[in-house]
Amino acid sequence: METPAVPTKTYTLNEEQEKNEILRKYRALLRVLKPKLKPGDRELVRHSFEMAADAHKTMRRKSGEPYILHPIAVAMICAEEIGLGVRSTICALLHDTVEDTEVTLEDVQREFGNEIARIVDGLTKISNVIDASSSQQAENFKKILLTLTDDPRVILIKLADRLHNMRTLDSMKREKQLKIASETIWVYTPLAHRMGLYAIKTELEDLSMKYMEPDAYRDIAQKLAETKRERSRYINEFIRPLKEKIEQTGLKFDIYGRPKSIHSIWNKIKKKGVSFEEVYDLFAIRVILDSELQAEKADCWKVYSIITSEYQPQPERLRDWLSRPKSNGYEALHTTVMGPQGRWVEVQVRSRRMDEIAERGLAAHFKYKEGTGHEDRFDKWFQQIRDVIGSPDADSVDFLNDFKTSFLAEEIYVYTPRGDVKMLPAGSTALDFAFYIHSAIGSKTIGAKVNHKLVPIGHKLRSGDQIEIITSNKQKPHEDWLNLVITAKAKSKIKDSLKEEKRKIADDGKYILQKKLEGMKAAVTPGNVELITQFYKLSSSLDLYYNIAIKNIDLKELKEFQVFGDRLDLPRPKHQEHKPQEHHHDHHKPLVPPKDTELIIFGESGDQFKYTLANCCKPIPGDDVFGFITATEGLKIHRNSCPNAARLLANYGHRVVKTKWAKNKDIAFLTGIKIIGLDDVGVINKITNIISGDMRININALTIESRDGLFEGNIKVYVHDKEELNELVSRLKSLRGIQTVDRFDPEENK
């Protein structure tokens, strides 16, 4: 094998080692690609590697290693884990060159042709997402999707890039880790799911959790490690009888147990309100069949029949994605059965082809797409995205949220009156369905029949429903319809229709303003309209005209304005001589925290900031927190585990301020603890003894409800910091008969 050129200079021993490391990784990449190399491909790959190595030769990553190792790693993920081919590998090697180095898009086009240049251009556009402002960030996300609909490989390579960045996030600063991890959870994991890349989606979720919820992550990882031996023993016991019976059918197969991801276990713990020990599906059993294409379905059902004759199934837990695959192509049978020792176990049955599609998603589709019709589903999906992105004035941040609910959610199947199947995102309403059928039908909807029963237009649909839409020519979209739909298509059509309506009304307002200005000897010029719009604190001239038309603004203040020729100028401020002085003084006054929360939070420079604690998550000293600069309320402090954290960090990273707690034992913070346990004699006394007696913590409120031998206590207490709260929780947990002790937001239980 000819050695490719890595930029040369006088190497020290260390640099010599680095050069060898680069070549070793590059050769490993070539080995993975070998089965896919056609004549001339090896030279092309080598040329792209040399071009990238030369372009990045002076660059290093945050960890200190040569930058070129990153593009090689991304190319390796594309080739080995996603199963992409030679073109994608070349694009992955070049993905950062146009963005970060002297290499131009024209250079790439000249050396490698239009197709590769187009993909690299798409990747360059996407890379601007990181560190951009919120609307710009969402705007770029829109660009990602536009490029994605041109060539899905762009998003697959971008996911590989993000996966490698997440795997090497340790060398980044803490606030950068939080921002990148949040963005990953917010945008990239749903995309990986939608592209059918389950293995990558799962790893991205786990890695994000490792940085956003380090304590919970470590706790579950440790418990998984501790229970591994016992789990393996159980899996072997569960599998043994199944293996024997499937072997008797003559089918070729693999059967094994695989652990659920840390993130999915954590989700279960949160959703179900259970402890780690109570999560029954810490693993799933997988049966992979080596079946011929035409026999796949029948073989899967045969195995299902064997499993359910050996173990009792839970009827409502059967998931049949053989008859109706998910729109990302996922096909399998899932069932939950009662295994030995009275434990529920999830079993997944699929063929080797289905398994490859499940793990490698879209890339595997193209390999198998002959005669299966799978690509139709992707094409439909891309077409829907194109339709929605086509609306030029859609607000980008709204678009991003709509995109998540419309295109990245699980799907449901519903039927038209004629029996045609339509696929909609979970959570869709009858009105979503109406717009999905046609915009003109959506706009005239007055009601619907679901399974032949009359329902309101906001009725939430379930899989299997049959829907008939009832329309009227007198109907038109209303503002509150926006709260009744979740799909991007419905939202954008309703907004368009409302805007059109608003424009008609606004024309009257424009006429009123024109008359008013003519009376003042001024004109409706863009400059004048802009000035008046700003004066009334509105965002556009359309809003100004509309508010005038509906008499929200009576334009009385216009007589205060000054007129020069036909140009307006702002009114002269009254008492001008005092104002600047006060304003100037205010501006330089140091910001002091409000009295009720005197605890100081430090920004980067060690300045003291005025701040408030966010109501959505009620942080207390010691919690992992970040500061967020709001538009109207200054600096707000949120917990990293706040329900809104991922959205804020991912969409508005530029407004996040690094914060940490300073020690101040004088101030106490109100927090709540919920206790559930057996209603035993004297248990309340023991609880209050620990809180007030042993730990001398002040109780603000206490409610106890007892029912059927169980009690639930909600106690609001004043604690100084998280350490004190943790100590209190662990002492309460150690009491006999106490089942759970959890923190809650004291505002919720007023």
Residues 6+ apart with CB under 8 A from 121: 98, 105, 147
DSSP line for 665-683 = TT--EEEEEEEEEE--TTH
Residue 575 burial class via C-beta count within 10 angstroms: exposed 0-12, middle 13-18, buried 19 and up: exposed
**Ranges assigned E (strand) in 486-550:** none
Q: What are phi and psi of 634, to 5 degrees?
A: 70, -150
The 3-state DSSP composition of the chain as helix, strand, coil percent (nearest 5) reads 55, 15, 30
Partners of 333 in the β-ladder: 320, 349
Q: How many residues does the chain have?
A: 750
Residues 6+ apart with CB under 8 A from 494: 435, 442, 477, 481, 482, 485
Is residue 402 among the annotated active site residues?
no
Whether the CA torsion 197, 199, 205, 208 is positive or negative: it is negative
DSSP line for 386-437 = HHHHT-TT--HHHHHHHHHHHHSS-EEEEE-TT--EEEEETT-BHHHHHHHH
End-to-end CA, the chain: 73
Partners of 338 in the β-ladder: 312, 344
Tokens of 488: 């991007």
Tokens of 491: 């939202």
Residue 32 burial class via C-beta count within 10 angstroms: exposed 0-12, middle 13-18, buried 19 and up: middle
Tell me the longest C-alpha to C-alpha distance in the chain. Answer: 98
18, 41, 65, 99: which is the annotated catalytic residue?
99
41, 54, 65, 100: which is the annotated catalytic residue?
100
- Cα–Cα distance list, 277 to 265, 266, 269, 336, 703 (Å): 11, 12, 10, 18, 28
Residues 6+ apart with CB under 8 A from 116: 87, 90, 91, 94, 108, 109
Is residue 100 among the annotated active site residues?
yes
- Which of these, 704, 703, 710, lies nearest to 679 by C-alpha position? 710
Helix (H, G, I), strand (E, B) or coil at 287: strand
Active site residues: 99-100
